[in-house]
Amino acid sequence: MKLINKNLILSLVTIITLSACGGGSDESTTQTNNSNTSNPGISNNTTITGQFLSSNDTGKFYSTEQMPSYQQYGKNASHCYQSYNDYYFETENTMVFGNPDLPDTDFKQAAQWVENNFNTALTTMAISKAEYFSNRYSVRLVGLKHIRNQLSSRYYDTIDYPNNFDALTYDQQVDWATKTAKSLTKNEAVELLVNDPYSPFQTETQTVLEDKIYVCLHEKNTTNGWGEGSLSGITIGAPSLAIPHEVEKIVTHELIHTIQHALSANFEGLGLPRWYSEGQAVLLSGMEVAKKSDHNEYDPTLVVSYYDETGDQAIAYSHYGLAYQYLKDANGQPSIVNMMKDMKRITYNYSQQKNSTLKEFHGYVESFDKLMKQTNASTLTVQQYRDEYHALMSAY
């Protein structure tokens, strides 16, 4: 029986339920902060430099898709793509969209949080801002997927197809089309889309994402599930409605999720198991991580999806952090970034996934097994990290 400081647990519970992201949360935990007061700690002296703009003037909308996807915007941004798609506050690194009736300070505060923590998130992930934006698809995902589909049916005649294209299996054709779509420059992709009558986009500005973090302000007056990170950026609550405890860490955590998408997500989504994506975001944002000596409390590396998560979410998150900390100590952040980039080039293959003995995305397994090491420098595989986790922790 372990004695755990009760205050620590309370603060963990607060942080974690607030930051629940990437697929549902039980959201049943009692709040321990003042999240429902009318103006909880919003700073009145925000001095951020930026301007309020109308998308009808600039042509830059939050979403330009007929059917915006969770993969592009996350699960909590419907507010912004359905209703408040065309009004934003723009600063050096961010565009904050939301209900124009919200106070200006909400937009400014959200932008300030991103500006304060974007560099921290990049530095702790060990990538530069330029690297981040060059890894993020500059064309909206639905456009790239459209190009892939057109390529796999040999629709475009301006592209060089492999000589043996017709002899390839369907999976091979899709693999080639996916890799080709990913490798197009922004201009090449825009050119294909604006000249394609079946394309979801007609103009360049509709097609591209600006090199900014897109922020959507939701209007739930609770700090449960307050933040979320996706391919385009982050969705957070309007500060005048609720501000979670340790908000700067949560914003950093969500920015790390958005960086994860840029580095490793393929056309089917983020292929990282839940313990990995949350563990990386927990550790690198400075949230509480379980002690090595407590490793027996939880089996983090078995948690591939949200549905594998058991027990108290705060405890689970702290153990995801520990499992990630081991990987980071054994490999270093740059090797981990290389692994994530390696994953992104692998095309999802249904039969390969079906035949795999592991339920982790087969591309993650391939890259992890090839590149990850134990602290003693011998190879570490996904299977081993599942089966031998506690032995590895005992020796850590």
Binding site for Zn ion (CB under 5 A): 21, 278, 281
CB-side neighbour CA atoms (13 Å) of 169: 5
Closest distance between Zn ion and the C-beta of residue 257, in Å? 6
Burial label for 321, CB within 10 Å (0-12, 13-18, 19+), is buried
Q: Give me the least distance between CB of 349 and Zn ion, in Å please.
A: 28
Dihedral pair phi/psi, residue 380, rounded to 5°: -125, 130
Q: In this chain, which residue has its C-beta nearest to Zn ion?
A: 21
Q: Give the residue with the Cβ less far from Zn ion, 24 or 100.
A: 24
Q: Which is closer to Zn ion, CB of 71 or CB of 91? A: 71
* Tokens at 143, concatenated: 């456009």
Q: Which is nearer to Zn ion, 25 or 64 (CB)?
A: 25
d(CA 153, CA 200): 17
Shortest Cβ 308–Zn ion spacing (Å):
15
Sign of CA dihedral 87, 110, 287, 317: negative
Smallest distance, Zn ion to C-beta of residue 322, A: 15
- Select from 238, 316, 330, 311 the least CA-distant residue to 279: 316
C-beta closer to Zn ion: residue 217 or 282? 282
To the nearest whole angstrom, how small is the minimum distance from the Cβ of residue 226 to Zn ion? Answer: 11
Closest approach, Cβ 47 to Zn ion, in A, equals: 29
Alpha-carbon torsion 230, 234, 236, 238, what sign?
negative
Residue 276, C-beta contacts closer than 8 angstroms, at least 6 positions apart: 320, 323, 324, 364
- Residue 368 CA to residue 371 CA, distance in Å, equals 5
Residue labelled with tokens 């939050």: 62
CA-CA distance, 77 to 72, in Å (whole number)?
10
The answer to whether the beta carbons of residues 284 and 243 sit under 8 Å apart is: no
Nearer of residues 48 and 303 to Zn ion, judged by Cβ? 303
Nearer to Zn ion, 172 or 305 (CB): 305
User: How many Å separate Cα 292 from the centre of its chain?
Assistant: 27
Supply the minimum distance, in Å, between the C-beta of residue 21 and Zn ion.
Answer: 4
3 state DSSP class of 228 = strand
Q: Which is nearer to Zn ion, 107 or 275 (CB)?
A: 275
d(CA 248, CA 40): 14
- Asked if 254 and 236 count as a contact pair (C-beta separation under 8 A), the reply is yes
Shortest Å, Cβ 76 to Zn ion:
13
Place of tokens 């031998």: 388
Question: In angstroms, what is the minimal distance from the CB of 373 to Zn ion?
Answer: 25
Give the residue with the Cβ less far from Zn ion, 21 or 314: 21
- Is 95 in contact with 89 (CB distance < 8 Å)? yes
Tokens of 131: 């690297």
Q: How far is the CB of 277 from Zn ion (least distance, A)?
A: 7
First to last CA, the chain: 22
Nearer to Zn ion, 21 or 141 (CB): 21
27 vs 387, which CB is nearer to Zn ion?
A: 27
